[in-house]
Structure 1
């Protein structure tokens, strides 16, 4: 979403395939996108790869943007698709690698919830990340993921129920 005159000016430069403007736009929002990438990949190296791939794709495909007001949602969609792609490739490489990283030392609650999120199906995990870690509205999530708002709402609801169940089961052990 274009929120200021500087964003509008920056978008004009980006539309002229000014790579510096794309990088500058991402630098301003780096922490926001980094949180999304980390929630998916939990690897600094992989998140950096996603940033690089996304910057290149945004620069190459800017002509496909239909409305300027959806620029940020469009970029977020590209970013998430890159996260998914790297996640799938990494999962294929790992195949049957044990992911038993639980310590007996307590972690921050946020980190525990992130670990529990990994146990959810991708479709629920994605909704929770975008809504509660990124702060997107249900309508924005619907645009980003190209889904009906009703689907977003039901996946959020089901995902939260499943997440609560996973957390409660973990507490019982």
Structure 2
């Protein structure tokens, strides 16, 4: 959503492919996006790479934005897709080198919760991250992920149930 007149002016600059305007807009929201990136990647350098990739994609694909009021949702969707791609690429590299995943410790800190989230399927994890770490409504999540609201609700419920089992130490994560 475009929040202010300055955002509206900045969006006009972004639409004229002003790279500085894209960087400024993302920088103002960096902590919000960083939390999303960290939940996926848990590595500062990887999150920074995703920021750079997102900035370039927003700059290059701004012509694809259909409605200005969905700009933030559109950028968030690009950022999440970049996180997913980076995560898949890293996961594939780890599998090829046969590295063992790190053990999760019992729930004690936010980092432990994020580690527990890693045990969820991506479809459940991303919805929980967007809802509880970023504060998006189910309707906003549906727009970001291009899913029906009912699907978001069911995945959120199922993801919470699975996460609860993980936190409580249950071995059967499939319910």
Question: What TM-score comes out, normalization by structure 1 length?
Answer: 0.94
- Alignment match, 2:162: 162
- 2:89 counterpart of 1:98: no
CA deviations on 1:107-130 (whole Å, 9 max, x unpaired) are 752111111000001100010000
Q: After the TM superposition, which of the residue ranges 108-117 and 65-74 deviates more from structure 2?
A: 108-117
- RMSD, aligned α-carbons: 1.5
Q: How far apart are the structure 1 equivalents of 2:70 and 2:102?
A: 40
Q: How far apart are the structure 1 equivalents of 2:80 and 2:133?
A: 14
Secondary structure (helix, strand or coil) at the match of 1:99 reads coil
What stretches of structure 1 of length at least 5 have no aligned partner?
Answer: none
- 2:67 counterpart of 1:53: no
- Alignment match, 2:173: none
CA deviations on 1:35-67 (whole Å, 9 max, x unpaired) are 000000001111000000000000000000000
Give matches, 1:74-153, under 5 Å.
74-95=74-95, 96-102=98-104, 108-153=108-153
CA deviations on 1:65-110 (whole Å, 9 max, x unpaired) are 000000000000000000000000000000031122446xx77521
- 2:36 counterpart of 1:36: yes
Runs of 4+ residues over 2 Å off in structure 1: 100-103, 106-109
